A and B are shown apart, each in its own frame.
Chain A
Amino acid sequence: GINAEYGYHISGHYRHWNIATGLLTLDAPLHPEPLLYYHALPHGSLLRVTRNAVYGGKTDTIEIPETMSYVGYLRSGQESEGFVYVPGQEGLIVKHSARDDSVAVTKIELPWATSDVKFVSSDDSMAALKGDILYYKVVGADSFRNVILSEIGVTWKVNAIRAAGKSVYIASGDKMSAVLLIRDGFMKAIKALDKDIVGQVVGADNIVLISRPENTVSLVQLSNGFEHHSYTLDGEGDRGGIVSINTLPSSHPCSTVTTVKIPGLLISWEDESVTVVGATEKCGWEREESLANVRSATMLDLPASSVIPLNLNKPSNPIKMWTDRILCQLNDLQKFINQHFGAGYRDTSMEMERDSFNLNKLILVATKVGKVAVLHSISGRVLWSRYMDGIATLENGKYEIRLVRSASHYPLPPLVAIVAASKDNENTVLNVINPLDGSTQYNRVIKSKVAQVQLTTVEDSEAARILLLVTRDNKVHTYPPNSHSLIKDLPLYFALVYPDTMQLKGFSLTVTGESVMETWSTKFRGDKILSVATKATNDAVYSQGRVLGDRSVLHKYINPNLIAVAMETGTGDKGHVDILLYDMVSGIQIHTVRHKQYSGPVHLLLAENWMVYHLWSAKLRRYEIVVAEFYISHSSNSTSFSSLLPNLSPYAIQQSYISTTPLSALAVTSTLKSITNRAVLFAESGGR
């Protein structure tokens, strides 16, 4: 692309081949000056306009002042033009005619083109909106014409104009739109509608308009504004804006050939879905391409029984409870018989019910563009999907998804909270939805960036776990809203890593529960933080020590609040990797290791009383895996552990191994009581 401010810096060569024979017809070096614009000429050479000269045509050197910025490139048949201007002053039009390979530069005065005026160019014309006057120019004209919009029938306020194809623009205001066309050098309004429309020119004389939010497609003839045909796109929900429209050939089943050819359309939408639509019913299809860009996902359990509600929370009279239970069990018995002995019986309601090993789950995914979808884990079918306009991923490239209420509390719906950043990245958006059908239960925009999201174990009166959002200004927001009184006694501590200032800070919840305060901090002296790891919250250790061959016991150092940071300094032979281990609550440093002449990427894993990491040895050109286990020299008498009452100083036993491949992920298995031996999973980048 071409940067409008500085031009395009190409260095090297320009080569042109004859496509039929493969012969190189032109090979020329390019001048190392920033280009303002360029385009290929019919006979194979390249017309280049730099700040000081125009190359490629028969011309003299022209000077283009530094203050001009490039706007657009227009083309019509043999004529092409490039346009540069200084806001509020003057502009230059560089015209090239392929007929005689001549280049002409014309200066025009643009006192109206102040820096807030935006130019929009369609194929062969350019337009700019200023207040209620529209300035426009076609290829070949020497100056801009202007028209007052109310004179051509557009009496309402126009907010923006968009290009829709050759010489066609769409002016849009609040809920009103008009189609404008430049004919014979003059701008005319063809059609005005009281909806929000997007459109694209198809063929020679027609334009396809799609009005939102009703999603009606209509084909309008440009010569007389006559609307041929219109039909409605089905599919529920908002898809965002249209990214591009392409017409399908008349042989496609969606294109109808009647007295007027109505082409089928291939539309790609802002929510990364692609649809093919046509006037005939049942001819089109739809694809969800956004699922290729999933950024965050979570698994949800299904409700235990979808048939009869078990109102276990509300005590009612015993007779009713007994009959409810009997009915439920009779129903289960009926289903069991049908399943095993009924021929070909398949109950589709089973899809939304938990099966015996709890393998039937829902997968909730949030994609890059802000589309949230729920898939069925066994069939992969998309249950529902919704485009949430205005959200974007958080700074770590993901969304934070938390299960606030599971599906076991019938009749209360399950709730999932999705924390995202707003599209302009300044605010935080909290959406709480029901994952079974996608309806929004709560929506809030918080006016600062989020620093931490924590799901506590405290439940409110409706069995919803309280979700805490800590923002950058150290304030705590809760969902359900204003539940600070329930969480104020929670011993909540967390640590934040600041990679840009190379700091690690620890925070704790204040007495009122409405804000957090910084309790400890440390600063690293390195170039880059490579990786941070903590233990899983439900990490349990089954045995307290390791028995050695001579019957002595090595007592394990088990601290559930550890955080490990891997940092690199320098590169190559002068670089080193530091691994630092801190206690997240008190800030006490437990361990530090330096690997000289090593570098990242580092994968770090903390579990039980050990730490595994995988790093690259720059000196010996191989990957290595290092295992460090922490033991204490005597067992402590007390069975309780507190990070704020430190009395243990662990020592580390390390060993390292050579690894052959780079890794993409490192994880450890976990079971309910951690009795089974834990396995470390190495996901190699080759896919193994």
Chain B
Amino acid sequence: MIPVFLVVLLLELVTGQHAEYLINVEHKIGSGDWKQRATIILPSIKQSSLPSHNTPQYIPIPANEDIETLKRLGNNNSTLYHVRVPFKALEEGEGEVSNYVSVVVRACSIVESHLSHSLTLYMDSTGHMTGLSLLGSAEDCTGRTTDATSFTTQCHIAYPSVGSSPDVHSFIQVKEKEEKKKENTDSRSFLAKYWMYIVPVALIVMMSAGGQ
């Protein structure tokens, strides 16, 4: 009875270990339609110290990448390239979301950085996206073309950094040091310190002067 129970518990621990979160990355070239470009699988949405928990797994869908269209329209400097993700990282079985977080860049910048760029998803601790960042290496649209045939994407997840707090501790330490130094010094006046030597000398002088 008890061994069966233990085996079942072990099985559950192994298989149902962590719920995985899915993020669908969609893209749109110019005024076309939104197509799914990749899927990102996240082991966990909480910021954790184990690096494996926060490394996303980026799975591209090559069929939807539309490289030819991108290269063709990328010659025109004014074509825009849009990327969007759903507002929330979905667990398995959850439905669609109606809100998206999107960014827009020039299509020529993607082409001229040889289709290689880094995609950063800014997420808060509940799995909701606050923003995206899509950075390439192209600085200018000079009309170069590329031989690359598929996207090379480095995907990162970024969490909000902790706000800094005023550094009160070191200031207090400095103040305490000054206080201690002040305590050691004697702050009485000259007369108050040396009256026991001055008074007998004055008496002797007066007596010798009076004696004459």
Choose the segment among B19-27, B34-42, B125-133, B190-198 that binds chain A (4+ C-beta atoms closer than 8 Å).
Answer: B125-133
Is there an interface contact between B163 and A646, defined as CB atoms closer than 8 Å?
no
* In-complex Cβ contact of B133 among A578, A588, A642 (8 A): A588
Q: List residues of chain B with CB within 8 A of the CB of A647.
A: 109, 113, 135-139
- CB distance B166 to A656 under 8 Å? yes
A594 contacts which of B108, B131, B134, B160 (Cβ < 8 Å)? B160
Partner-binding segment picked from B60-68, B94-102, B200-208: B94-102
Is A530 at the interface (CB under 8 A from chain B)?
A: no
Determine whether B105 belongs to the interface, using a CB cutoff of 8 Å to chain A: yes
Near A by CB (< 8 A), chain B positions 127-165 give 128-141, 158, 160-165
Set of chain B residues within 8 Å of A636, measured between Cβ atoms? 139
- Which stretch (A418-426, A446-454, A464-472, A517-525) binds chain B? A517-525
B80 at the interface (CB under 8 A from A): yes
Contact with A along B93-121 (1 / 0, CB 8 A): 00000011111111011000100000010
B140 contacts A645, C-beta separation under 8 Å = yes
Least CB distance, B200 to chain A, in whole angstroms:
55
A587 to B166, CA, bound (A): 31
Q: Is A515 an interface residue (CB 8 A)?
A: no
Contact with B along A571-594 (1 / 0, CB 8 A): 000000111101001111111111
**Given A521-B102, A589-B131, A656-B164, does the pair A644, B140 have CB atoms closer than 8 Å?**
no
A593→B160 contact, CB < 8 A: yes
Task: Give the docked Cα–Cα distance between A593 and B166 (Å).
Answer: 15
Residues of B within 8 A of A646 (CB): 105, 109, 133-136
Q: Judging by beta carbons under 8 Å apart, are B166 and A644 in contact?
A: no
Is B58 interfacial (CB 8 A cutoff)?
no
User: Which chain B residues lie closer than 8 Å to A585 at the CB level?
Assistant: 104
Within the assembled complex, what's the spacing in Å between the Cα atoms of A638 and B126? 39
Contact of B99 among A523, A590, A592, A655 (CB under 8 A): A523
- Asked if residues A595 and B163 are in contact (CB atoms below 8 Å), the reply is yes
A188 to B141, CA, bound (A): 85
| Cβ proximity bits A641-678 to B, threshold 8 Å, 1 near / 0 not | 01011111100101111100000000000000000000
With contact pairs A588-B132, A592-B122, A592-B131 given, residues A645 and B103 touching in the complex (Cβ less than 8 Å)? no
List chain B residues, Cβ under 8 A from A582: 131
Least distance between A109 CB and chain B CB atoms (Å): 55
Measured CB to CB, the closest approach of chain A to B81, in angstroms, equals 9
A489 CB → nearest B CB, Å: 10
- Interface contact A522-B139, CB-CB below 8 Å: no
Range of interface residues on chain B? 35 or more
Residues of A within 8 A of B102 (CB): 520-522, 587
B105 and A644 contacting across the interface, CB-CB below 8 Å: yes
Is A155 interfacial (CB 8 A cutoff)? no
The answer for the CA separation of A578 and B162 in the assembled complex, in Å, is 10
Is B168 in the interface zone, CB < 8 Å from A? Answer: yes
Whether A645 pairs with B160 at a CB distance below 8 angstroms is no
Residues of A within 8 A of B162 (CB): 593-596
Residue A83, interface by CB 8 Å: no
Q: Closest residue to A580 on the B side, CB-wise? A: B130
Bound-state CA distance A590–B167 (Å) is 25
Partner of B131, one of A588, A595, A655, A656: A588
Tell me whether B103 and A593 are in contact (CB under 8 A). Answer: no
**Contact of A196 with B by CB under 8 A:** no
Chain A nearest Cβ from B4, distance in angstroms: 43
- Name, among B131, B137, B165, the residue most crowded by chain A CB atoms within 10 Å (CB to CB): B131
Contacts of B132 in A (CB 8 A): 587-589
User: Does A626 interact with chain B (Cβ within 8 Å)?
Assistant: yes
Across the interface, do B160 and A520 meet the contact criterion of CB distance under 8 Å? no
Complex CA–CA separation, A637 to B140 (angstroms)? 10
Q: Which residues of B contact A655 (CB under 8 A)?
A: 164, 167
Chain A hits for B99, CB < 8 A: 503, 523
A626 contacts across to B, CB distance below 8 A = 163-164
* Cβ A578 vs Cβ B104 within 8 A: no
Task: Give bound CA distance, A642 to B77, whole Å.
Answer: 12
> Which 7 pairs between the two chains have the least Cβ-Cβ distance?
A589-B131, A595-B163, A594-B160, A587-B103, A638-B139, A654-B164, A644-B106
A binding-site residues for B, Cβ under 8 Å: 503, 506, 519-525, 577-580, 582, 585-596, 598, 624, 626, 636-638, 640, 642, 644-649, 652, 654-658
Q: Known contacts A642-B106, A644-B106; can you find 17 more A-B pairs with CB under 8 A?
A: A506-B104, A520-B102, A578-B160, A587-B103, A587-B104, A588-B103, A592-B160, A594-B162, A594-B163, A596-B163, A598-B163, A638-B139, A645-B136, A645-B138, A646-B135, A647-B137, A654-B164
